[in-house]
């Protein structure tokens, strides 16, 4: 049930639309592009199908989420309406605040989705102004998938890749949980934690990678 604050204020009205549990996270995931119901279940991890169905209905009723069911296609895809896309800066502001005031290594019971983790890592590198003196391509190999973390003229970017990375400058093999623990821990602890990473590449380029994340030998 949508919370009614009975308070004349744009903040209160906004929270009546998107303040319920899971709503902002659904919007977060749809900002990356249209998703199927099963995709959203995977991203959100602990949400039940019943709760996800209800939240999607609430967001549709609020004019924030729209569904796309084409003739002859069994799957329904969900995407943000213009009003939903306008919430992008809100999600970005929450991310900035979270990195500054609420970030910590993942707890044992918490799911670490590699796609969301790499998205957050890329945002953090750009937000903090981390830079290299030259372009770089680092392959992050997780059991679920491989991602390319790149630095270029436009800053940092990451993308999921299906092929191997013979042309990557550095290849890092680990789990999402280990990597999230390394880059969210205090720098004083990262050197020890980084021993769980398998890092391969030319020594000078490996040194660049280690320096960016404060895990020098």
Q: What is the pLDDT of residues 107-145, one digit of tens each?
A: 988 989 999 999 999 999 999 999 999 999 999 999 999
Distances (CA, A) of 154 to 64, 103, 138, 157, 170: 30, 26, 16, 8, 20
Provide the sign of the torsion angle of the four alpha carbons 20, 25, 31, 35, taken in this order: negative
Contacts of 8 (CB under 8 A, 6+ apart): none
The pLDDT, as a whole number, for residue 72 is 72
Q: What is the pLDDT of residues 16-44, one digit of tens each?
A: 999 999 999 999 999 999 999 999 999 99
Among 137, 145, 144, smallest CA distance to 161 is for 145
Same fold, 10-90 and 109-213: no
Q: What is the pLDDT of residues 73-99, one digit of tens each?
A: 778 999 999 999 999 999 999 999 999
Would you say residue 174 has pLDDT above 90?
yes
Provide the sign of the torsion angle of the four alpha carbons 143, 147, 148, 153, taken in this order: negative
**Angle of CA points 93, 30, 42, to nearest 5°:** 110
The pLDDT, as a whole number, for residue 2 is 59
Q: What is the pLDDT of residues 40-73, one digit of tens each?
A: 999 998 899 999 999 999 999 999 999 987 777 7
Phi and psi for 190 in degrees, rounded to 5? -65, -35
What is the biggest distance separating any 2 CA atoms in the chain, rounded to whole angstroms? 62
Would you list the domain boundaries of the chain? 10-90, 109-213
CATH number for the segment(s) 109-213: 3.30.1050.10
Contacts of 12 (CB under 8 A, 6+ apart): 5
CA dist., res. 2 & res. 18, Å (int): 9
CATH architecture of 10-90: Orthogonal Bundle (1.10)
Q: pTM for this one? A: 0.86
């Amino acid at each position: 049930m949508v919370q009614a604050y009975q308070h004349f204020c744009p903040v209160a009205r906004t929270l009546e639309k998107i303040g319920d549990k899971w709503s902002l996270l659904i919007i977060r995931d749809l900002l990356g592009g249209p998703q199927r119901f099963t995709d959203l279940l995977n991203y959100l991890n602990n949400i039940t199908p019943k709760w996800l169905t209800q939240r999607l209905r609430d967001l549709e009723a609020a004019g924030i989420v729209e569904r796309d069911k084409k003739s002859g296609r069994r799957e329904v895809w969900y995407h943000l309406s213009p009003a939903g896309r306008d919430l992008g800066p809100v999600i970005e502001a929450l991310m900035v605040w979270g990195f500054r005031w609420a970030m910590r290594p993942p707890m044992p019971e918490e799911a670490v989705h590699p796609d969301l983790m790499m998205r957050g890592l890329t945002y953090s590198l750009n937000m903090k102004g981390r830079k290299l003196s030259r372009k770089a391509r680092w392959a992050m190999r997780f059991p679920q998938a491989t991602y390319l973390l790149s630095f270029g003229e436009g800053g940092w970017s990451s993308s999921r890749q299906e092929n191997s990375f013979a042309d990557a400058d550095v290849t890092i093999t680990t789990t999402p949980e280990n990597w999230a623990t390394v880059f969210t821990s205090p720098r004083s602890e990262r050197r020890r934690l980084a021993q769980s990473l398998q890092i391969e590449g030319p020594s000078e380029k490996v040194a660049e990678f280690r320096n960016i994340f404060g895990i020098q030998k």
